[in-house]
Amino acid sequence: MLDRALGLHPSVALRPEPFGALAYHYDNRRLVFLKHPSMVDLVRTLDDHPDLRSALEAHGIAPELWDTYDRATTSLIESEVVIAR
């Protein structure tokens, strides 16, 4: 996953909330909770980076946490909030 070019699905809107954000998918009408502000920042900028790894680096996220972010991103791909570019 770390080497893949990712982006926010064009039909997804993010609404900031105290815990992170709500992601709403206008096509499948699913509501997904992003439970960490850092994850929200990451998701918002995925499109600006060639792959997930460089997005994580750009956000200054420590490499020992990358696995956790990798898993969280995988789950967002499953719910179609994030897609491969």
Partner 1 sequence: MTRLVDQMKSGLDAPICITWELTYACNLACVHCLSSSGRRDPRELSTAEAFGVIDELRAMQVFYVNIGGGEPMIRRDFFDIIDYATRSGVGVKFSTNGAFIDAERAERLAQMDYLDIQLSIDGADAVTNDRVRGEGSFATARRAMDHLAAADFGEFKISVVVTRENVGQLDDFKAIADSYGAQLRLTRLRPSGRGVDAWHDLHPTLDQQRDLHRWLLAHGERVLTGDSFFHLNALGESLPGLNMCGAGRVVCLIDPVGDVYACPFVIHDEFLAGNVRDDGGFTDVWRTSDLFSELREPQSAGACASCGAWDACQGGCMAAKFFTGLPLDGPDPECVGGEGEHALDAVTTVPRPSGDHSSPRPVPVVLGTSGLGRR
Binding of partner 1 at residue 71 (CB under 8 A)?
Answer: no
For partner 1, the binding residue among 2, 22, 77, 83 (CB under 8 A) is 22
In our burial notation (b when 16+ CB lie closer than 10 A, e otherwise), range 7-41 reads ebbeebebeeeeebbebbbeeeeeebebeeeebbe
Binding of partner 1 at residue 18 (CB under 8 A)?
Answer: yes
**Does an H or E element contain 13, and which?**
strand 12-17
| Smallest distance, partner 1 to C-beta of residue 38, A | 14
Residues found near partner 1 in the complex (CB under 8 A): 13, 15-19, 22, 24, 26, 29, 31, 33, 35
